[in-house]
């Protein structure tokens, strides 16, 4: 039951004659007790003594009513504008932020989807690369953006759910700073070696690393990324020691591998296919228990005796926290329709990945589970920033 309204008591020094009606109007408006006396039938606010005669009091009351009605009208219009935001969106191009340079798996997927997604939304979708800070620059940019639906994150799990466990001075908890929108794709990891490396396959790499501790350099797309975590896990399972060289993103890491600057790299298949086809990188294994359709001759790590080496990547769309649910629903529907087309499915599959879709609520639960999972993996592996 709603409690009875209490009368206002003006405890501040008496206001001047010209200011009193204005103050009363705004007090009633924002306290929710207009008209004076309240909707629950309470007494009118007690009037401070001012010496007004009846005529002036009547004029004051009329002014109070007019000002309070204007105030309430502004509030209604403000609320209507907020409601219209979701209905009229999008009214301008949408930015899809990638936290790494061009050339990696996240960038590949973002550019693959941008044009058909723009057709679905009726506005251009622009891919914006914001590399740096092991993905924290791009993630932070979106987390701090206005929640208007025009700035979205093409999230990569290595940056999204791993970084908060490693970078203690950042506030980018995905469960708190982002609004889940749509799941896009997942993939196992592809283990690739440089064409200039002194080994031809994964057993050869492990044998060389055991005979030459600390001689193999491996790349990653940043501190705490899946390639970094995956390499540490391989070291522990195989009993070897390698040297970590982090880069700003998957594209830079892959270029270093192709040039022979590093010997070994673990990445999502999409980021390596170009160099593999060009003969600049040699795939030696796929993480997990299943071979890739796109690379049927490359063995799975289970086949090579590395049981339990289940490292994978996934990609999903997020907005800033408090993104309008209407915009979220429209985006989720648009992404799912695009992902359901044969052209996009084939484009994702040819890059060694698999299309999957989720509702925003399902993605929220999945993000939370993965956040906890990778936190436990990082702690168990003893992974710390170099």
Mean pLDDT of 368-372: 96
pLDDT for res 294: 87
Question: pLDDT band at residue 87, thresholds of 50, 70 and 90?
Answer: low
- Look at residue 235 and tell me whether its pLDDT is greater than 80: yes
Instruction: Name every residue whose Cβ is closer than 8 Å to that of residue 164 and which is 6 or more positions away in sequence.
Output: 170, 172, 173, 174, 371
Q: How far apart are the first and last CA of the chain?
A: 60
Mean pLDDT of 193-204: 94
Question: pLDDT band at residue 69, thresholds of 50, 70 and 90?
Answer: low
Q: How far apart (Å, rounded) are the C-alpha atoms in residues 81 and 318?
A: 24
In percent, the amount of the chain with pLDDT more than 90 equals 61
pLDDT for res 6: 40
Question: In this predicted structure, which of 50-54, 90-94, 115-119, 320-324 has the lowest mean pLDDT?
Answer: 50-54
Average pLDDT over all residues of the chain: 83
- Look at residue 225 and tell me whether its pLDDT is greater than 90: no
Higher pLDDT, 209 or 21: 209
Using alpha carbons, select from 208, 201, 195 the residue that is nearest to residue 263: 195
- Look at residue 24 and tell me whether its pLDDT is greater than 60: no
Name the DSSP letter for residue 160. I
Taking only the tens place, the pLDDT of each residue in 39-52 is: 444 444 444 444 44
- Look at residue 79 and tell me whether its pLDDT is greater than 70: no
pLDDT for res 377: 86
Per DSSP bridges, beta strands 217-220 and 264-267 are parallel
Mean pLDDT of 14-26: 46
Question: pLDDT band at residue 367, thresholds of 50, 70 and 90?
Answer: very high
Taking only the tens place, the pLDDT of each residue in 178-189 is: 999 999 999 999
Q: What angle do CA 279, 135, 287 make, to 5 degrees?
A: 45
C-beta of residue 104 within 8 angstroms of C-beta of residue 269: no
* CA-CA-CA-CA dihedral for 362, 368, 371, 374, to nearest 10: -70
Taking only the tens place, the pLDDT of each residue in 118-148 is: 999 999 999 999 998 889 999 999 999 999 9
pLDDT for res 267: 92
pLDDT for res 4: 44
- Look at residue 155 and tell me whether its pLDDT is greater than 70: yes
Full set of structural domains in the chain with CATH: 94-188+312-381 (3.40.190.150), 193-304 (3.40.190.10)
Q: What angle do CA 370, 375, 376 make, to 5 degrees?
A: 100
pLDDT for res 81: 46
- Look at residue 365 and tell me whether its pLDDT is greater than 90: yes
- Look at residue 10 and tell me whether its pLDDT is greater than 80: no
- Look at residue 315 and tell me whether its pLDDT is greater than 90: yes
Most confident of the following: 8-12, 157-161, 206-210, 266-270 = 206-210
């Amino acid at each position: 039951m709603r409690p009875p309204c209490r009368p206002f008591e003006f405890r501040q020094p008496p206001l001047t004659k010209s200011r009193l009606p204005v103050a009363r109007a705004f007090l009633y408006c924002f306290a929710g007790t207009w008209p004076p006396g309240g909707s629950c039938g309470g007494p009118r606010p007690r009037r401070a003594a001012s010496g007004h005669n009846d005529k002036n009091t009547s004029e004051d009351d009329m002014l109070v009513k007019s000002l309070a009605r204007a105030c309430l009208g502004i509030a209604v219009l403000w609320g209507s504008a907020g409601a219209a935001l979701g209905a009229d969106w999008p009214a301008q191009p949408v930015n899809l932020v990638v936290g790494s340079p061009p050339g990696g798996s996240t960038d590949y997927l973002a550019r693959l989807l941008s044009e058909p997604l723009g057709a679905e939304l009726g506005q251009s979708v622009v891919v914006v690369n914001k590399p740096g800070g092991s993905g924290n620059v791009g993630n932070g940019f979106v987390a701090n953006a206005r929640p208007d639906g025009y700035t979205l994150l093409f999230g990569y799990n290595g940056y999204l759910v791993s970084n908060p466990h490693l970078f203690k001075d950042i506030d980018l908890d995905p469960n708190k700073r982002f609004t889940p929108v749509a799941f896009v794709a997942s993939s196992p990891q592809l283990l690739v070696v440089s064409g200039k490396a002194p080994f031809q396959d994964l057993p050869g790499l492990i044998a060389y690393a055991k005979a030459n501790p600390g001689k193999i350099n491996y790349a990653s797309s940043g501190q705490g990324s899946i390639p970094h975590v995956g390499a540490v896990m391989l070291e522990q399972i195989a009993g070897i020691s390698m040297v970590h060289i982090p880069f700003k993103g998957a594209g830079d890491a892959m270029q270093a591998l192709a040039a022979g600057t590093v010997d070994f790299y673990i990445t999502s298949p999409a980021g390596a296919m170009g160099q593999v086809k060009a003969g600049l990188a040699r795939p030696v294994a796929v993480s997990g228990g299943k071979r890739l359709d796109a690379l049927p001759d490359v063995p799975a790590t289970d086949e090579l005796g590395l049981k339990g080496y289940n490292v994978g990547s996934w990609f999903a769309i997020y907005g800033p926290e408090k993104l309008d649910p209407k915009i979220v629903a429209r985006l989720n529907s648009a992404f799912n329709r695009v992902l359901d087309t044969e052209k996009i499915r084939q484009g994702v599959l040819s890059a060694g990945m698999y299309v999957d879709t989720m509702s925003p609520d399902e993605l929220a639960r999945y993000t939370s589970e993965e956040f906890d999972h990778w936190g436990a993996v990082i702690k168990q592996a003893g992974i710390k920033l170099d």
